Structure 1
Amino acid sequence: MLIILTRIVFCILLICIIKSLWDNSGGDKRNLISKLLLVFSIILLILAFYAPDSPVGAAVFRFLAFAFKPLGFSIILLVYATTLISGGGIKGPAPTLIITALIVLIITSAPVFAVWAAQEAEEDAIEVVGSSACCSETADAIVLLGQGTTQPIIPDRIQIQLTKTAERIIYAAQLYKKGLAPYIIVSAGPRIEDDVNTVEAVDIKRVLIELGVPRSAIILEPNGATLHESAIETREILDERGLEPVVILVTSAIQIRRGSLTFTREGMRVIPAPTDFNAVNPYEDSTYRFVLADFLPKAEALLLTTEVWEEYLALFYYFLRGWLAPGF
């Protein structure tokens, strides 16, 4: 019921916005192009919502995501403000737009804000780790969401290079060696926006073997480009092999909530195993204290804030699509 009500409210807001834009485009023939562009934009938005993995839908989705990110939002405000500068003067509301853009950039790039945002996003994961739920139960498989944990092998490289999210690969290997599950399902589809035609799951398998995981214990899921697709493909693998739909889910702490709810929605019981924590001060009894430098803008802080914001946007999108189990 909550999903239906949210969709209704969301649709009503969109209709009101579209109607306002349509009315402002005027009624004479000179504005026919504006109306056609509006209709075309609506079609693209619908395509991006229902088919985000299609080439056109993905391009539109990335543009919309950029517009809602702190950096993208600030750039759009600044670009619009520059269009209001003419004849050596600045028309309103250009000053307000410039000040707003600067405030957004300063706040979102401050480490103290980034850490707070990450801590709020990782709150559920912190509770899981604190209760040791991720390391005391057994399952039929460990599911490693590995998209973006490695870089492709190109002619100038002779080894697989890991990214900052590769901690989940090491963690999955550790859980396997503890005997918590007989298999590791590596879910990572084709690399996005890379000239190299490779499947990331294959490279992750090589890393797991180097970490001591037997080949026979690694199951590749090479089709899941999104978390939702990974959940569907994983359930099919479990059913094909006659395994119980009970999995230990290894992913980043920021993503663990969406991942758990998505896999649960596909009929699996999920034991969350979060890693890749970003919060500096995740526990109330921590002795860490912020210093003056934590209030000064840093590029790394802006990246962290953007990552958290992207996850909230993805969580809301999954909620609208009905891909989350009750509990959102």
Structure 2
Amino acid sequence: MLIILTRIVFCILLICITLSLWKSCGDDKRNLIYKLLMVFSIILLILAFYAPDSPVGAAVFRFLAFAFKPLGFSIILLVYATTLISGGGIKGPAPTLIITALIVLIITSAPVFAVWAAQEAEEDAIEVVSVSACCDEKADAIVLLGQGTTQPIIPDRIQVQLTKTAERIIYAAELYKKGLAPYVIVSAGPRIGSDINTVEAQDIRRVLVLLGVPRGAIILEPNGSTVHESAVETREILDERGLEPVIILVTSAIQIRRASLTFTDLGMRTTPAPTDFNTVNPYEDSSYRFVLADFLPNAEALLLTTEVWEEYLALFYYFLRGWLAPGF
């Protein structure tokens, strides 16, 4: 019921904004092109909402996501402000737009804010999905969401190079060697934006084998580029192999809430196994201590804030699509 009401409110807001923009164009024939562009934009928005994995939908979705990120939002404000500069003067509301953009950039790139935002996201995930229950309960499979944990092998690189999120590969191997599940399902689709036609799951398998996981115990799921796709494909693998839909789910702490609810929504009993913590370690009594440098903006902090904000946007999108199990 809550999903339906949220969708209704969202649609009403979109209709109101569209009607307001339509009326602002006036009845002049010269504005016909703007109205046609508006209709075309609405069609693209609908396509991006219902088919975000299609080429056009993905492009629109990435553009919209950029506009809602701190850096993208600030750039849009600054670009709009420059259009209000003419004849050596600045017309309103250009000064307000410039100040707003600077405030957004300064706050979101401050480590003290980034750490606070990440801590809130990770602590909330731990509380909602009961991370403390991990990981003594056995399952039929360990599911590793590995998208973005490795870099492609290029001619000058003979080994698999890991990224900052590769801790989840090591953690999945540790859980397997503890005997918690007989299989490790590696879900990672084709690399995004790469000229090299490789499936990341194959590279992750090489790393798992080096970490002591038998090759025969690794099941590749090479199609999942999103959490929802991974959940759908994983459920099909479990059904095809006659395995019970009881899994241990390994992914980043920021993403674990959305991932767990998505897998649970498809009928899988999910034990969350978060890793890649930015600020919080739920297995130790530790806390982050700020220093003076944490109040000075830097690029790493902006990246962390953006990652947290992207996850909240994705969580809201999954909620609108009805892909989350009750409990959101």
Q: Same fold (TM over 0.5)?
A: yes
Alignment correspondent of 1:75: 75
Q: Tell me by how many angstroms 1:87 deviates.
A: 0.7
Alignment correspondent of 1:89: 89
Q: What amino acid sits opposite 2:110 in the alignment? A: A
Alignment correspondent of 1:6: 6
Q: Tell me by how many angstroms 1:120 deviates.
A: 0.8
1:130/1:59 Cα in 2 relative to 1: closer, same or farther (>3 Å)? closer
Secondary structure of 2:249's counterpart equals strand
Alignment correspondent of 1:57: 57
TM-score, length-scaled by structure 1: 0.97
Q: Tell me by how many angstroms 1:290 deviates.
A: 1.1
Secondary structure of 1:271's counterpart equals strand
Alignment correspondent of 1:46: 46
Residues in 2 aligned to 1:177 and 1:300: alpha-carbon distance in whole angstroms: 34
Residues in 2 aligned to 1:228 and 1:71: alpha-carbon distance in whole angstroms: 27
Gap regions ≥5 residues in structure 2 = none
Q: Tell me by how many angstroms 1:30 deviates.
A: 1.2
1:47/1:140 Cα in 2 relative to 1: closer, same or farther (>3 Å)? same
Give CA deviations for 1:196-216 in whole Å, capped at 9, x if unaligned.
Answer: 000000000000000000011
Q: What amino acid sits opposite 1:113 in the alignment? A: F
1:16/1:128 Cα in 2 relative to 1: closer, same or farther (>3 Å)? closer
Give CA deviations for 1:70-90 in whole Å, capped at 9, x if unaligned.
Answer: 000000000001111111111
Q: Tell me by how many angstroms 1:179 deviates.
A: 0.4
Alignment of 1:1-328 (within 5 A): 1-127=1-127, 132-279=132-279, 286=286, 288-328=288-328
Question: Contact 1:146–1:169 at 8 Å: present in 2 too?
Answer: yes
Residues in 2 aligned to 1:274 and 1:76: alpha-carbon distance in whole angstroms: 35
Residues in 1 aligned to 2:129 and 2:29: alpha-carbon distance in whole angstroms: 63
Q: Tell me by how many angstroms 1:132 deviates.
A: 3.5
Aligned residues: 328
Gap regions ≥5 residues in structure 1 = none
TM-score, length-scaled by structure 2: 0.97
Q: Tell me by how many angstroms 1:126 deviates.
A: 3.8
Q: Percent identity?
A: 89
1:96/1:131 Cα in 2 relative to 1: closer, same or farther (>3 Å)? closer
Q: Tell me by how many angstroms 1:225 deviates.
A: 1.2
Residues in 1 aligned to 2:128 and 2:313: alpha-carbon distance in whole angstroms: 23
Question: Contact 1:281–1:288 at 8 Å: present in 2 too?
Answer: no
Residues in 1 aligned to 2:128 and 2:174: alpha-carbon distance in whole angstroms: 17
Residues in 1 aligned to 2:130 and 2:47: alpha-carbon distance in whole angstroms: 42
Residues in 1 aligned to 2:161 and 2:286: alpha-carbon distance in whole angstroms: 33
Question: Contact 1:115–1:280 at 8 Å: present in 2 too?
Answer: no
Residues in 2 aligned to 1:184 and 1:282: alpha-carbon distance in whole angstroms: 24
Secondary structure of 2:134's counterpart equals helix
1:183/1:309 Cα in 2 relative to 1: closer, same or farther (>3 Å)? same
Residues in 1 aligned to 2:240 and 2:284: alpha-carbon distance in whole angstroms: 45
Residues in 1 aligned to 2:171 and 2:53: alpha-carbon distance in whole angstroms: 29
1:103/1:157 Cα in 2 relative to 1: closer, same or farther (>3 Å)? same
